Amino acid sequence: MTIKRYFNSNLEDMMEAGVHFGHGSKKWNPKMAPYISAKHKSIHITNLTRTTRFLLEARNLVFNAASSRKNFLIVGTKNKIADLVASASIRARCHYVNKKWLRGMLTNWSTTETRLKKFRNLRAEQKMAKFNCLQKRDTERLKKELSTLQTYLGGIKYMTELPDIVIILDHQEKYVALRECVILGIPTICLIDTNCDPDLADISIPANNDAISSIRLVLNQFVYEICKGRLRNINNK
């Protein structure tokens, strides 16, 4: 499916993508009761009408923010969506974290800035072949350090300040990231499954955040809005 198709997705598209499938009824958060429409074979079914409503609210926020040249950070670290998060973020020119969230990445921004500066310096030295002038032991040590920094900071290597909006695709997995945003007052958009707390994010979108097809459908809608908003900003100059 194209991004345009995802943008125009209806309830049928959502059902096809499995957006409505929640967790087992024994693994649910009672706060999610208003967002659950039924239970089928011990599986909670998300109310897609509410999903559509909150998704539209989130899309409008994202579009307006992109039109105002705001910066986005997309967070999704489950192994099965790591490549999806990276490709979508690059397409929308967003920062992203698709591996491990380093505790204090935002709340201890001064330390993160130091790490990013080190990362950029090592990348520059490698490109200029400065590693070749060192002893083999030192070269291997710097290459290993650079590889580690690339893994954890590669998606935010161009980030020079705190993001304006953070989109979190795996709410439970990235609870620490969400708490950091709450502490700093950074607006958040989260995909929340039936085992999540819907009160923590600024906009919580009830949806299956385990299925790749579900995450892809929602994420591509955000990419569409960000690209459209940035194009509007360019055209208005």
Max distance between CA atoms of the chain, in angstroms, equals 65
Per-residue pLDDT of the chain (237 residues; tens, 9 = 90+): 344 444 445 788 899 999 998 887 778 888 999 999 888 788 899 999 999 999 999 999 999 999 999 999 999 999 999 999 999 999 999 999 999 999 999 999 999 999 999 999 888 877 767 666 767 777 788 888 889 999 999 999 999 999 999 999 987 666 899 999 999 999 999 999 998 889 989 999 999 999 999 999 999 999 999 999 999 877 776
* Domain ranges, residue 122: 109-155
**pTM as predicted:** 0.89
pLDDT value at position 162?
98
Instruction: Work out how many domains the chain is built from and give that number.
Output: 2
Asked if residue 117 is part of any domain, the answer here is: yes
Scan for tokens 């099965």, then name that residue: 80
pLDDT value at position 4?
44
9-42: string of b/e by CB count within 10 Å (b at 16+)? beeeebeebbbbbbbeeeebbeebeebbbeeeee
Please state, in angstroms and as integers, the Cα–Cα distance from residue 20 to each residue in 63, 65, 84, 95, 169, following that order.
25, 28, 20, 28, 15
Clarify whether residues 37 and 147 are in a common domain: no
Clarify whether residues 100 and 113 are in a common domain: no
pLDDT value at position 130?
65
From 124, 139, 155, give the residue that closes a domain: 155
Asked if residue 4 is part of any domain, the answer here is: no
CATH number of the domain enclosing 138: 1.10.287.610
What 3-state DSSP class applies to 82?
Answer: helix
Clarify whether residues 17 and 82 are in a common domain: yes
Asked if residue 138 is part of any domain, the answer here is: yes
Clarify whether residues 231 and 147 are in a common domain: no
